[in-house]
Amino acid sequence: MASATTTSFASLRFSSKLAAAAREHSAEMAQRGYFSHDSANGTSFDKRISRYYSISGKHYWSVGENLLWSSPDVDAVGALNMWLNSPEHRKILLTARWREIGLSAVHVASASGTYGGREVTIVTADFGVRRQRPRQIRRRFRVAIMICRGSLLLSRVGDTLFPRRL
């Protein structure tokens, strides 16, 4: 008897910041006639996305991206099926840590460069997760316990123990 494995994923929220990054990248690829995760000037995709989806003040930040172009057109179901049928793209789609998504589709009647003058639709999907630095719990007390022999001091601040050598 075969057993089915189910994986639970958190719901994705729409992110206007990730959508802006996706929109800018789709438009740039269409205008300049290239197809790559990197920007036309060579900037890596994570640095490009960070201009819109800020890292500052975050304890944890991670992004992923799927791209596709199709001629002449592609709908949402078609794009999703193409990504699901590609192991690399499927892995990004099914990454459980993503919490936000931004999407963009640009249609061009005659795209130059890589697209050979064809009518194309270029789709960018940017995924991300950001977590704030945990706020330090400020307490009016500190408990310090001196362990016998005086070689180790444990200071308890909030709910975290920080071992320190004397």
DSSP the chain: ---------PPPEE-HHHHHHHHHHHHHHHHHT---SS-TT---HHHHHHTTS--TTEEEEEEEEEEEEESS---HHHHHHHHHTSHHHHHHHT-TT--EEEEEEEEESS--GGGTT--EEEEEEEEEEEEEPPPPPP-S--EEEEPGGG-EEEEEETTEEEEEE-
pTM of the model: 0.75
- 16 pLDDT tier (thresholds 50, 70, 90): very high
Question: pLDDT value at position 135?
Answer: 54
pLDDT digits over 111-160, tens only? 999 999 999 999 999 999 998 865 544 443 333 333 333 333 332 333 23
